[in-house]
Amino acid sequence: MTLNDLVKELGLEVRAGGSALETEVRGGYASDLLSDVIAHGQPGDLWVTLQRHQNIVAVASLKRLAGIVLVNGREPEADTLQKAGAEGVPLLVSALPTFELVGRLCGLGLSGIRT
Amino acid sequence: MADKEVTKTQEMIYELRVREVMTRKVIAVASATPMGELRGILRDNRISGTPVVDDGNLVGIVSIEDFINWMSDGRPGCPVADRMTRQVRTIYDDEPLVQAVNKLERSGFGRLPVLERETCRLVGVITKGDIIGGLLKHLEVDYLNAERRGARSSHIFEDIIADRSLLRLEYQVRGADFSRAGSSASGLKTSLGRLGIDPQITRRVAIAAYEAEMNLVVFTEGGRIRAEVEPGLIRLVVEDSGPGIPDVEQAMEPGFSTAPDWVRELGFGAGMGLPNIQKCSDRMRLDSTVGKGTRLEVEVLMEHRDDAERLSEGTGA
Amino acid sequence: MKLDEISKVLEAQWLSDRTGCHDRIGAEVLSCHASDLMSDVLTSSGEGSLLLTGLTNAQVIRVAEVADFVAVCFVRGKKPQPETLQLAGERGIPVLVTPLSMYDACGRLYVKGLPGGHGAKEIPSWRTRK
């Protein structure tokens, strides 16, 4: 499943990294704690989070995540947008809260990681 | 018992702690004490068992049953140490009474030695009798309080005219004290709940108080939260003496935060505090001067008739 | 879903003494809120809701109490700090821990039909007067 597929299926809005939407998404990870994602995130994960500050881009790059989706309709900070664009990290937005978005991602067959 | 009293008792079993009803004067014997002496001790103190303590440490427990078994074994000359039970069921002094009730039931013992959690020192003993006595005593005290509140609720009608505050609760908050952070909001919530205020109103006030308290802890050296319960509304006034907010409008924007990065890993710093407070309140006012301090005033309106009714219901007036 | 059933679905372990929160064990859980950001949690009422979180400090309990959550479940097998458990015991908030990740835990509960709580955009109208 690619980011593009998810964007279409779930009505996600693209804020940055639009050129990388054909990236294959291998799994999902939900957390708002950077330390968790750094410890357990896997390459190719789609990261579901509320955090809007620019550090999320650094983490996504570091862990080679497929992309980030912000929930609750939260918009990324200006710095975050800029960094995501510069580093080619896909940044998406969903109006849904974490629980529902993850539920639907699972429904589409995107599994999580067991730590 | 009337229905109200039964629920009150049930509540108390969860709220009261062992230390509030236990017997502090503990009769104990040393393990070297001869069994022959035990009878006198048990009889003189009218108890059915006693903890065995050596150098302040609980080493066992010996009961009348042990004594009777010793007698039927022909009263051998031996110390308490030989006949006592070494596996002692105990309870900590800060546990709620319901735990004591459960442990006593499960073990079938008549008493539990009470230990202080940090030091594991023996600080008391609790029996079913203590529990019942303690509950009755607290029920009495609660009736007294209810009477006082009853007197207050009749003031509501005077206060409507006089426009005076009905009840004031104040909390001091220390800056950077994360272990205590939220305790004021939590205490306020409990108090409002006890006053019989609508749970939705209580929740809104408690959330606003919590967010305000977290702001005090994260950004200031401390401050004060005051809650005023008046006919028709609850007001929160939160004040500190620094550092002050340079741009109040900006601070009110959802997502705007000046919290340092590490605060995020504690689950905060999302910049939702002030917007949340606004959402919970019917009126909100934030004044701040950099270098001097900040004053936040929040009002949550209550249905006038409902709250007066509820207050009088809560006091049994 | 009852809290007991949820704990089975999540393969969760009870961390709190069940006698301390006996009135909640059979409680009906109406929705679920998944978050590590406490301020986000406070944007909606937690009444009847389960809080799924990876944050283990005592503030989680304060927030759960203040917003009326039914229970807290920690994810990724994270055992909370002792003060957290102690506070939960004092305030009667049931605490569970699931070995599942936040992602998997949400997935499993969602597929069982448990609805989400209100997202920040759909704010429950607390100000509705009767």
Are residues B267 and C59, on separate chains, in Cβ contact within 8 Å? yes
Q: How far is C48 from chain B (nearest CA, A)?
A: 13
Q: Which chain B residue has the Cα nearest residue C45?
A: B203
- CA within 13 Å, CB half, C47: 10
Using the Cβ of B264 and the Cβ atoms of chain A, whether some distance falls under 8 Å is answered with yes
Q: Which chain B residue has the Cα nearest residue A34?
A: B265
Helices (H), ranges, C1-130: 3-9, 22-25, 38-41, 59-66, 82-91, 102-111
Q: How far apart are CA B158 and CA A69, in angstroms?
A: 57
Which one of B62-66, B259-263, C99-103, C124-128 scores highest in mean pLDDT?
Answer: C99-103
In-domain check, residue B150: no
ipTM: 0.90
Domain ranges of chain C: 3-111
* Poorest-pLDDT segment among B120-134, B209-223, C47-61: B120-134
Q: Which helix (H) or strand (E) holds A57?
A: helix A55-62
Using the Cβ of B261 and the Cβ atoms of chain A, whether some distance falls under 8 Å is answered with yes
Interface test mutation site (partner B, options A38, A53, A59, A81, max chain B beta carbons within 10 A): A53
Report, as an integer, the average pLDDT of B107-122: 84
Q: Which residues of A touch B265 (CB under 8 A)?
A: 33-35
Using the Cβ of C49 and the Cβ atoms of chain A, whether some distance falls under 8 Å is answered with no
Q: How far apart are CA B91 and CA C16, in angstroms?
A: 16
Please check whether residues B297 and B169 belong to one and the same domain.
yes
* pLDDT for B71 beyond 70: yes
End of a domain among B113, B133, B153?
Answer: B133
* Poorest-pLDDT segment among B70-84, B250-264, B302-316: B302-316
Please check whether residues B32 and B108 belong to one and the same domain.
yes
Q: How far apart are CA B104 and CA A3, in angstroms?
A: 60
Are residues C100 and A36, on separate chains, in Cβ contact within 8 Å? no
Q: Which chain B residue has the Cα nearest residue A51?
A: B270
Of how many residues is chain C composed? 130
* pLDDT for C36 beyond 80: yes
Q: What is the pLDDT of residues C86-99, one digit of tens each?
A: 899 888 899 999 99
Q: How far is C17 from chain A (nearest CA, A)?
A: 26
Query: Who among B255, B265, B270 is closest to A35 (CB)?
Result: B265
What pLDDT, on a 0 to 100 scale, did the predictor assign at position C32?
A: 95
Using the Cβ of B70 and the Cβ atoms of chain C, whether some distance falls under 8 Å is answered with no
Using the Cβ of C116 and the Cβ atoms of chain A, whether some distance falls under 8 Å is answered with yes
Using the Cβ of C34 and the Cβ atoms of chain A, whether some distance falls under 8 Å is answered with yes
Q: What is the pLDDT of residues B176-193, one digit of tens each?
A: 888 788 899 998 888 888
Determine how β-strand B233-240 pairs with β-strand B293-301: antiparallel
Report the domain count for chain B: 2
Instruction: Say which CATH class A3-107 falls into.
Output: alpha beta
Are residues B265 and A53, on separate chains, in Cβ contact within 8 Å? no
* pLDDT for B133 beyond 70: yes
Please check whether residues B20 and B73 belong to one and the same domain.
yes
* pLDDT for C116 beyond 70: yes
Contact partners, residue B7, CB within 8 Å, separation at least 6: none
Q: Note down the domain range covering B250.
A: 165-314
Are residues A97 and C117, on separate chains, in Cβ contact within 8 Å? yes
Q: How far apart are CA C6 and CA B304, in angstroms?
A: 40
Q: Chains near A, with 3+ CB pairs < 8 A?
A: B, C
Which percentage of chain C shows pLDDT scores above 90?
A: 53
Cβ pairs bridging A and C (under 8 Å): 108
Catalogue the E-assigned strands of B231-304: 233-240, 283-289, 293-301
Q: Which residues of B touch A81 (CB under 8 A)?
A: none
**Mean pLDDT computed over every residue of chain B:** 80
pLDDT grade for A85, boundaries at 50, 70 and 90: very high
Q: Which residues of C touch A105 (CB under 8 A)?
A: 103, 107
Please check whether residues B190 and B255 belong to one and the same domain.
yes
Residue pair B49/B111 in contact by the 8 Å Cβ criterion: yes
Q: Which residues of A touch C112 (CB under 8 A)?
A: none
> By CB neighbour count within 10 A (0-12 exposed, 13-18 middle, 19+ buried), where does B74 fall?
exposed
Are residues A34 and B270, on separate chains, in Cβ contact within 8 Å? no
Please check whether residues B118 and B224 belong to one and the same domain.
no
* pLDDT for B123 beyond 60: yes
Using the Cβ of B272 and the Cβ atoms of chain C, whether some distance falls under 8 Å is answered with yes
CATH number of the domain that residue B215 is part of = 3.30.565.10
Helices (H), ranges, chain B: 3-15, 18-21, 35-45, 64-72, 80-83, 97-107, 128-162, 183-194, 199-219, 248-251, 261-264, 273-280, 304-314
Give domain C3-111's CATH number out of 3.40.50.960, 3.30.70.1070, 3.40.1390.20, 3.40.50.150. 3.40.1390.20
Q: Per the omega criterion (within 30 degrees of 0), is the bond before C99 cis?
A: no
Q: Which chain C residue has the Cα nearest residue B267?
A: C37
Interface of A with C in 28-67 (CB under 8 A): 28-33, 36, 40, 48, 50-51
Using the Cβ of B133 and the Cβ atoms of chain C, whether some distance falls under 8 Å is answered with no
In-domain check, residue B279: yes
In this prediction the pTM is 0.63
Q: Which residues of C touch B257 (CB under 8 A)?
A: none
Q: Which residues of A touch B267 (CB under 8 A)?
A: 32-33
Buried b (16+ CB within 10 A) or exposed e, B48-64: ebbbbbeeeebbbbbbb
